[in-house]
Amino acid sequence: MNPFKRLFGRDNKFYDLLEASADEAKNSAQILSALMPKLGDERAVLESLELLAQSRRKHKRISQDITTQLCRTFVTPLEREDIEALSSSLSRVPKTMEKIGERLLICPLNSHAESMSKQVAMLEQATTTVAVMVKSLRTNPHVEEIEDEYGQLQTLEGDADRFMIALLRELFEGSAEAKDVVFLKDMYELLEKAIDRCRDAGNIVFQVVLKYS
């Protein structure tokens, strides 16, 4: 690559890396979604946990690459703090997914898979929406061009929060054993946290678009 081109950030490296980061977050949600029907199968859980760990390691490499490129590039296509904030926000999604997978290995609770599957489906939808929003940055869009995705993400986060409250109410009013209540409460909250991470990433994208519009 021409050194001046690299110096002034005229290539698409940062867009490529941010898009790869968002895609890896989406991939980790898809891995978790594929696992849900297999809960109770220890081998399937172990295989999925390894895939989640691989996704997390890949995401770390992407984040490190973004940091390296920020140090080597004089002028970036987006402000440095925006790139750093979006990269950091996206990196929290696969990290949370890996924690969820680790807990499912400890106590799969396949009898509660249906309720968790609904949360995972919301999470997968959230990561897909974030990936679309991140990809839009490359074209320097106007706010109107991402309002639909941004609105969908905000609605999804609100729906997921209300669904989690309903799950917790059902859990505490039910007859589940105390250890199951503690475990499921942790799982529901982790899944909600992952969706919140997606909302945070979407907020950053929206703010960047507002700034450049």
Domain definitions of the chain by residue range? 3-212
- Give the Cα-Cα-Cα angle 133, 91, 115 (nearest 5 degrees): 80
pLDDT given for residue 24 in this prediction: 95
Tokens 């309002």 identify what position?
147
Under CATH, to which class is 3-212 assigned?
mainly alpha
DSSP states along the chain: --HHHHHTT-SSHHHHHHHHHHHHHHHHHHHHHHHGGGTT-HHHHHHHHHHHHHHHHHHHHHHHHHHHHHHH-SS-SS-HHHHHHHHHHHHHHHHHHHHHHHHHHH---GGGHHHHHHHHHHHHHHHHHHHHHHHHGGG---HHHHHHHHHHHHHHHHHHHHHHHHHHHHHHHS---HHHHHHHHHHHHHHHHHHHHHHHHHHHHHHHHHHH-
CB neighbourhood size of 127 (10 A): 30
Q: State residue 7's pLDDT score.
A: 43
Segments of the chain scoring below 70 in pLDDT: 1-11, 108-111
What pLDDT score was predicted for residue 115?
82
Note the pLDDT of residue 155: 96
Chain segment 93-136, per-residue pLDDT in tens:
999 999 998 888 887 666 677 888 999 999 999 999 999 999 99
